[in-house]
Structure 1
Amino acid sequence: MPVRVAVIVLSWNAADALLPCLAAVLRQSRPSDKLLVVDNASADASIAQVAATLPEVEILANSRNLGFAGGMNVGLRHIIAASPSFDVAVLLNQDTLVDPGWLAGLLAQFDEPQVAAVGSKIRYPDGRLQHAGARLEWPLGLVRHVGWGETDQGQYESPRDYALLTGAALALRLAALVEVGLFDEGFWPAYYEDVDLCWRLVRAGYRLVYAPAATLAHQESHSTRDEVTRMAYYHQGRLRYLLKRLSLTELSEAFAPAEASYCAARRATPEERALRWAYAQTLAHMHDIVAARMPLHLNEDAAHAHIVSVLHRLQQVPGQTHYHAALTSAQQLLG
């Protein structure tokens, strides 16, 4: 039977970008079976304009901003519950312009049942490459996009497996998603929810494939234009992901010393402010992070209790928002 596919576009205060994005999706050589917009309580005219000009687009309007993970999960639950059922959901950022063969390029990689996610070849508006797959730089967990900033000369024209693909334009097999679970909504408002989901899919034995025929342009960071704010959210997501994934040994012996060096090298820079904020937020949400970690590290119950106890004390340290104090305490805890 033909694959049934839905495209989900998450919208938030970007009326100037949303209509062109949707129009490009509607011009696909292989049309989607549904085009769904999930709006995260936009204050502009985004949804009114879509409703007035594109009646074929279904709209779900959230009463508040649920972030990327929460907003996309609203759309995914809606698609999973639909009848007749869908096989694939494609997540797409609002500040993108997909090429006519984009969707066909994604779906061509789903022939094998172990393929759970397919990623796109993404370029900046000026034509430079933005994403041809992705990797994590260990032990800091920094995301590195393959091909980033390069001129596209055909060097990434072969499909290949990666352990990480960006969620900006990502196709997901719904059966695999139901098995491993939807996005972790603790990654609010954005960043690393896609890293976390990719890790869980790979951990469950699935493949993630980069599809060079699925091409598009992406403005990037349209919803968060202030650079310090963007970096703060990025590091907050990174810390949540690492605290969920890494073993206690990895945290103490690899991550902590590398993080100390990374922080020291960014003293008196805008990123220092972002890191300071991210550490404070991570400490404030440690109960939730530990709860998310526990099912993934079933033999660490006693260690988890100890972490919670010590991190409660960390939160009482004067000047706790200074990442150096937090890092020193964390190293003592994990060392």
Structure 2
Amino acid sequence: MSNKKFAAFIVTFQRPDILMDTIQKILDQTRPPDKLLVVDNNDNDETKNKLAQLYPNVAHLKVGHNSGFAGGGKAGLEALAKEGYEWILWADDNDPPYTEDTLEKLLHLAESYGANCGQVGVVGHKINKRTGLVIRTTNDELEKGGEYLEVDTIGGGMIKVIKGESVLKGIVPEAKLFFGFEDLDHDLSQKRAGYKILVHTGLFMELRKKWNKVNFKKTSTVRKKDESVLWRDYYSIRNSLFVMVKNRYYLAFFSILFVSFAKSLLSYKYGFRYGTLVTKNTCKAIRDYGLNRWYKR
């Protein structure tokens, strides 16, 4: 087997202890990567120094600023693809593989499918082009679909193994998105280029059982979130509008606008302060998208 077969990188920001645990779990895989790279979004050397002490054989790439999962993903993919690696794991520092043979099974699927396989992963879904929403993969599809299932996107943290060839063709995350839907944007770019995106049905179903989501049903109720995580909604709205227009899903663009405003109004049932915070986030996201502003909040 070529020593340029499989590499992995982990994007990290200010979580050195969690990172070290994820590194160990990746190295403990039945098929560990031939090279492991840490893409460091910190502006200090804490992670670099800890890495040198505990895992001196793990490569380190310092970005020098917080480029988000999008910017870190772009840097890691480009660095490893240029070195000639055929398959590249794009990982977050708090999302290690779920089983000890996850990477072995994914690589086997990727290599056995054929030349137009762009990426493989554990959890993925189709996208409704009219609403922009995920169409949840059913249990029947996983149990009766064979070893794999074709999807539109594999979410971040769901063990995405990407074909290096596609990276060399310029299919990389939009760094300006920073955080939120950078994975969907990347995946739809792969599909437009003719690549197939596959999930391993066995691993997917195993994880669904582990998380007790076999009988999961999504509700339309607007739930109150902790105020400390409301900032995520800004990126979700702004970036999803960008992705929908880029892919000419214009009905989905207007659907997201309508739903975002509707959720803002409904959020006032949890109090004026909470509703105001949600509404401000929504308005700023739509404003910044319209003005082509790509702030990191």
Q: Percent identity?
A: 19
Which moved further from structure 2: 195-204 or 232-241? 232-241
Letter of the 1:100 counterpart: E
Deviation sequence 1:86-116 (CA, Å, 0-9, x none): 1011111111232221111111122211110
> Corresponding residue for 2:28?
27
Q: Which residue of 1 aligns with 2:72?
A: 71
Instruction: Give the unaligned 5+ runs of structure 2.
Output: 212-225
Residues 194-213 of structure 1: CA deviation (Å, up to 9, x unaligned): 00111111122211000245
Kindly indicate whether residue 225 of structure 2 is the aligned counterpart of residue 226 of structure 1. Answer: no
TM-score w.r.t. the length of structure 1 is 0.68
Q: Deviations over 1:111-146 (max 9, x none)?
A: 2111101012xxxxxxxxxxx322335544234664
Check if 1:142 corresponds to 2:133: yes
Match of 1:113 in 2: 115
**1:180–1:201: 8 Å Cα contact kept in structure 2?**
no
Task: Give the Cα separation in 2 of the matches to 1:161 and 1:272.
Answer: 41
Q: Give the structure 2 partner of residue 239 of structure 1.
A: 241
Q: Structure 2: how far apart are the matches of 1:271 and 1:45?
A: 39
Distance, in Å, in 2 between the alignment partners of 1:108 and 1:225 is 43
1:60 partner SS: strand
Cα displacement (A) at 1:182: 0.9
Question: For 1:97, what is the secondary structure of its paired residue?
Answer: coil
What is the alpha-carbon distance in structure 1 between the residues aligned to residue 177 and residue 36 of structure 2? 25
State the AA in 2 paired with 1:8. Answer: F
Q: Which residue identity does 1:199 align to in structure 2?
A: L
Question: Which stretches of structure 1, 4 residues or longer, exceed 6 Å deviation after superposition?
Answer: 153-157, 215-218
- Per the TM alignment, residue 63 of structure 1 is displaced from its structure 2 partner at its CA by 1.0
From the two aligned structures, give the one with the greater helix fraction. Answer: 2
The one-letter code matched in structure 2 to 1:50 is L
Query: Is the 1:106–1:213 Cα contact (8 Å) retained in structure 2?
Result: no
**1:277 aligned residue:** 281
Equivalent in the alignment of 1:321 = none
Of the three residues 129, 133, 141, the one matched with 2:124 is 133
Residue in 2 aligned with 1:159? 148
- Give the counterpart letter for 1:167 in structure 2: G
Query: Could you tell me how far apart the structure 2 residues matched to 1:11 and 1:213 are?
Result: 29
Q: CA deviation at 1:232?
A: 2.6
How large is the Cα RMSD of the aligned pairs? 3.3
In 1, Cα distance between equivalents of 2:104 and 2:189: 26
Q: Deviations over 1:130-187 (max 9, x none)?
A: xx3223355442346647xx9xx97998421101111222011011233252111121
Tell me how far apart the structure 2 counterparts of residues 267 and 194 of structure 1 sit (CA, whole Å): 31
Amino acid at match of 1:277: N
SS at match of 2:194: coil
Structure 2 Cα separation of the partners of residues 271 and 21 of structure 1: 37
Secondary structure of residue in 2 paired with 1:210: strand
Q: 1:273 to 1:243 in 2, by over 3 A?
A: farther
| Alignment check: 8 A CA contact 1:106 1:214 kept | no
Point out the structure with max Rg over C-alpha. Answer: 1
Q: CA deviation at 1:281?
A: 3.6
One-letter amino acid of the counterpart of residue 85, structure 2: F
Matched residue of 1:186: which SS?
Answer: helix
Instruction: Tell me how many residue pairs correspond in the alignment.
Output: 266
The match for 1:202 is 191
Please say if residues 7 and 35 of structure 1, whose CA atoms lie closer than 8 Å, have aligned partners that are also in contact.
Answer: yes
Distance 1:214 1:42 in 2: 36
Query: Match of 2:172?
Result: 182
